[in-house]
Amino acid sequence: MAGGLLQIHDPLKPRGHAVGIDLGTTNSLVAAVLQGTPRAFPVDEGGSLLLPSVVHYAADGSVTVGARARELAVTEPTSTIASVKRFMGKGPEDAETKALGAYRFAKGSSVVRFEVKGGPPVTSIEVSAEILRTLKRRAEAALTGKVEQAVITVPAYFDDAQRQATRDAGRLAGLEVLRLLNEPTAAALAYGLDKGSQGRFAVYDLGGGTFDISILELVEGVFQVKSTGGDSALGGDDFDREIATRFLEAHGVSHPDAAAVTELLAAARRAKETLTQLETTELSALGKTFGVRRAEMEAWIAPLLQRTGVACRRALKDAGITREELDGVILVGGSTRVPAVRRFVSQLFGKEPLGDIDPDQVVALGAAVQADLLTNRERQDEVLLLDVIPLSLGLETMGGVAEKLIPRNSAIPTAAAQGFTTFQDGQNALDVHVVQGERELVNDNRSLARFRLSGIPPMPAGMARVEVRFEVNADGILSVSAKELSTGVSQAITVKPTHGLTDEEIERMLLDSIEHAEEDVHVRLLREQQVEADRILHDARKQLAAFSDLLPDDERREVEAAIIRVAELRDSATDSQALADAIKALDDVSRPFVERIMNRAVGTLLEGRRVDEV
């Protein structure tokens, strides 16, 4: 277990840049601190700072990420994965999984696997890794240097399985994940450091697929998260779904196919965005139109906003403060652009929310600040972030009751232990079931892991004393160890989430992706040389035919031999270098010949004829 928590840093190893990544449900961003200021980088077509979190898998095995992939979703909905964040750490039989999108899931796995074109089914972790890999590459291009370390943000409300899945995706993308940072905390960090202020803040974060609320306090360089809450399945995408549902009702469509749903949701999203500026809009999809007024949309989403209000009141209560004691309310997430959301928030907290940092960028900027604080020794003394665990961690006890060991909103890192005993004579094993959540019964909470402590020496019932110890690190990730105290039999268990991947699976994927990366580079280089070979063969043959009078016989033999060599390797080479060498050889032997041709061309030009007429 200790091995999982310890990270041995080699101070001599040169490191690339450390970046902050907002891995969002709808869009993802990457940022870094440059000359003391956090900045987001262009990551998609047209210099956009937002990379749509959409991954398309083509039949030829190629992968496209971003706006281009989002366009492909309309024609190929099942091979284009959007909102993959909603599937992180989830099993294929989760109710929510089934309700989302038009995807086809591979059977026989505890992890969600999407059936896509061009290869075997992909897990949500692999899909997320594609997004991270793209961000990494684009950041490397912008920084003209390697990017190896990252702080990746997660919704504060993410449970252990979702956090582990995110961390694994980072590893798979070739990143050392310095820290998983809660999104609202990141936002507050971006604001807090900007203003150098002290005080209490509420961060209201409504993204595409998740809602988070955090209460934070900044005092004397310590940024302390007082409480968090939220809903990991509520966001702006639900607004789109409300609009789409009304459209279907209005037109009496009951069973739209996958492509229709995708098209309709895209139209609904545009309508929602238009209604942030205008009072009315009309959406057209499936060859039909549907008028929506802003007031109507506000009525449809009101119940969703009420749900966020419940979480906000609970967070204030958990933090032990009233709304009057807040110094500011920070808005995060694209969905807070909806005027009804802003109005709701200002009524809820009794003050106008702050909004001077772009709500789309603020999380990535804060993550970049944290990455800088963690890696830049000169900045170490500025701010320390003290975060909390979002959901209670516990164990199953008699009667299917969940006993909490670490209550929600405990500051991390944290640890707790619980004693158990055997209930049968000679019992040599004990089953331990780790759960996360606030409900009284195990079945109402999220099952994180089950394991068996074996090797308990035979003793009468009630004599064995087993201590189960939980440890949560600064990323909010749990490890568990168990020990039989009277004999010292101990067992360290790395908790692998029920719906996660094993370390072996991650390793294999990592190896696969490295192998494929090499293969891919190889194929690309060879393809480039083949194109180059075609070009040079075409030119050389044309020149031989047209200017044979400029070529002495001995030179001609050399050039022809070189041409044959290139032509052969053009079709047979598997090694791009061999072909490149042959191309260079042809280039070298034909240089005097080409120079003579150029001289004649210049002379011809002087005679008043154009080169292309030669």
Q: Are 66 and 132 in contact (CB under 8 A)?
A: no
C-alpha distances (whole Å) from 177 to each of 33, 186, 238, 392 are: 17, 15, 30, 24
Binding mask 364-403 for other proteins (x = CB under 8 A): ---------xx-----x---xxx-----------------
Q: What is the DSSP letter of 605?
A: H
Coil, helix or strand for 486? Answer: coil
Give the nearer residue to other proteins in terms of CB position, either 416 or 510.
Answer: 416
CB 290 to other proteins: min, Å: 29
- Does position 412 interact with other proteins (CB under 8 A)? The reply is yes
- Residues binding other proteins: number (CB under 8 A): 34
333: its two tokens: 């997430």
> What is the C-alpha to C-alpha distance for residues 142 and 42, in angstroms, rounded to an integer?
8
> What is the C-alpha to C-alpha distance for residues 562 and 546, in angstroms, rounded to an integer?
18
Give the nearer residue to other proteins in terms of CB position, either 50 or 216.
Answer: 216
> What is the C-alpha to C-alpha distance for residues 156 and 163, in angstroms, rounded to an integer?
10
Q: Nearest 5 degrees, angle CA 450-CA 513-CA 363?
A: 70
Give 32's contacts (C-beta < 8 A, 6+ positions apart).
Answer: 17, 18, 19, 20, 38, 39, 41, 139, 143, 368, 371, 372
State phi, psi for 93 to the nearest 5 degrees.
-95, 0
CB 378 to other proteins: min, Å: 14
Contact pick of 104, 251, 288, 314 for other proteins (by CB under 8 A): 314
269: its two tokens: 């999203």
Q: Which stretch binds other proteins (CB under 8 A): 99-107, 264-272, 302-310, 584-592?
A: 302-310
* 205 labelled catalytic: yes
Catalytic residue selected from 76, 140, 148, 205: 205
Give the nearer residue to other proteins in terms of CB position, either 140 or 231.
Answer: 231
Evaluated on CA atoms 82, 87, 91, 96, the torsion sign reads negative
Give the nearer residue to other proteins in terms of CB position, either 462 or 552.
Answer: 462
Coil, helix or strand for 433? Answer: strand
Q: Among residues 224, 205, 208, which one has the least CA distance to residue 216?
A: 224
CB 377 to other proteins: min, Å: 9
Q: Which residues of 468-488 are buried (b: 16+ CB within 10 A; e: fewer)?
A: bbbbbbebbbbbbbbbbeeee
* 425 labelled catalytic: no
44: its two tokens: 């998609």
- Does position 59 interact with other proteins (CB under 8 A)? The reply is no
CB 219 to other proteins: min, Å: 6
> What is the C-alpha to C-alpha distance for residues 519 and 195, in angstroms, rounded to an integer?
49
Contact pick of 42, 91, 119, 413 for other proteins (by CB under 8 A): 413
Q: Are 52 and 71 in contact (CB under 8 A)?
A: no
CB 403 to other proteins: min, Å: 11
Catalytic residue selected from 148, 183, 240, 471: 183
- Does position 95 interact with other proteins (CB under 8 A)? The reply is no
- Does position 5 interact with other proteins (CB under 8 A)? The reply is yes
CB 310 to other proteins: min, Å: 6
Give the nearer residue to other proteins in terms of CB position, either 213 or 385.
Answer: 385
Binding mask 432-471 for other proteins (x = CB under 8 A): --------x------------------------------x
Q: Which stretch binds other proteins (CB under 8 A): 8-16, 69-77, 83-91, 106-114?
A: 8-16
Q: Among residues 491, 464, 488, which one has the least CA distance to residue 480?
A: 491
Give the nearer residue to other proteins in terms of CB position, either 119 or 413.
Answer: 413
Give the nearer residue to other proteins in terms of CB position, either 298 or 438.
Answer: 438
Q: Are 55 and 84 in contact (CB under 8 A)?
A: yes
Evaluated on CA atoms 419, 425, 430, 433, the torsion sign reads negative
Q: Among residues 419, 421, 389, which one has the least CA distance to residue 406?
A: 389
Q: Among residues 430, 405, 435, which one has the least CA distance to residue 490?
A: 430
CB 232 to other proteins: min, Å: 16
Catalytic residue selected from 22, 217, 238, 558: 22
* 183 labelled catalytic: yes
Contact pick of 106, 354, 474, 567 for other proteins (by CB under 8 A): 474
Give the nearer residue to other proteins in terms of CB position, either 116 or 151.
Answer: 151
Q: Which ranges of 147-182 would DSSP assign to H, the alpha helix? A: 160-172
CB 305 to other proteins: min, Å: 12
Q: Among residues 96, 110, 161, which one has the least CA distance to residue 436?
A: 161
- Does position 9 interact with other proteins (CB under 8 A)? The reply is yes
270: its two tokens: 């545009």
> What is the C-alpha to C-alpha distance for residues 430 and 422, in angstroms, rounded to an integer?
7
> What is the C-alpha to C-alpha distance for residues 216 and 199, in angstroms, rounded to an integer?
8
Q: Which stretch binds other proteins (CB under 8 A): 7-15, 126-134, 445-453, 566-574?
A: 7-15
* 22 labelled catalytic: yes
Residue ranges in 216-245 that form contacts with other proteins under rule CB under 8 A: 219-222, 224
Give the nearer residue to other proteins in terms of CB position, either 28 or 481.
Answer: 481
Contact pick of 278, 411, 546, 598 for other proteins (by CB under 8 A): 411
Give the nearer residue to other proteins in terms of CB position, either 365 or 373.
Answer: 373
- Does position 13 interact with other proteins (CB under 8 A)? The reply is no
Contact pick of 48, 109, 280, 410 for other proteins (by CB under 8 A): 410
> What is the C-alpha to C-alpha distance for residues 182 and 223, in angstroms, rounded to an integer?
13
Catalytic residue selected from 44, 76, 85, 238: 85
Residues forming contacts to other proteins in the complex (CB under 8 A) are 2, 5-9, 11, 219-222, 224, 306-307, 310, 314, 373-374, 380, 384-386, 410-416, 419, 440, 471, 473-474
Q: Which residues are catalytic?
A: 22, 85, 183, 205
